[in-house]
Amino acid sequence: SQKIEQNSEALNIQEGKTATLTCNYTNYSPAYLQWYRQDPGRGPVFLLLIRENEKEKRKERLKVTFDTTLKQSLFHITASQPADSATYLCARGDDSWGKLQFGAGTQVVVTP
């Protein structure tokens, strides 16, 4: 069965630095990977999507990469701010409709 794994250890980072999160998947490459942000006690919020045939996507201070050789996606937050502190979830999608498989998320803590 496919797995999607994120680093369970919290990432503590100083304001202004770049936070880099890792999402690894097993078996075949998904059609796309999505990244969500989740704040405590809240539902996830969609951030970025990257398709299998794309190497990199950007949105403001966020950047996502998709490496099918390493079976990995990296999520970068540049010039991090305390407001970026949250848990970030990676999700793989294999169908044209419906189900996503989520990782457990990585907590990011940005200190001033």
Partner 1 sequence: GAVVSQHPSRVICKSGTSVKIECRSLDFQATTMFWYRQFPKQSLMLMATSNEGSKATYEQGVEKDKFLINHASLTLSTLTVTSAHPEDSSFYICSAETGTGANVLTFGAGSRLTVL
Binding site for partner 1 (CB under 8 A): 4, 8, 31-32, 34, 36, 41-46, 49, 51, 89, 93, 95, 97-100, 102-105
Rounded to a whole number of angstroms, the minimum distance from the CB of residue 112 to partner 1 is 25
Cβ nearer to partner 1, comparing 9 with 112: 9
Instruction: Kindly provide the b/e burial profile for residues 64-91, where b requires at least 16 CB atoms within 10 angstroms of the residue's own CB.
Output: bbbeeeeebbebbbeebeeebbbbbbbb
Query: In a 3-state reduction of DSSP, which class is residue 83?
Result: helix
Query: What SS3 state is found at 2?
Result: coil
Tell me how far, at minimum, the Cβ of 81 lies from partner 1, in Å.
Answer: 22
Of the pair 13, 48, the CB lying nearest partner 1 is at 48
CB of 89 to partner 1, least distance (A): 7
| CB nearer to partner 1: pick between 86 and 89 | 89
CA 39 from chain centre, in angstroms, equals 14
Nearer to partner 1, 76 or 93 (CB): 93
Q: How far is the CB of 46 from partner 1 (least distance, A)?
A: 5
Q: Do 33 and 49 form a contact (C-beta atoms < 8 A)? A: yes
Q: Is 39 helix (H, G, I), strand (E, B) or coil?
A: coil
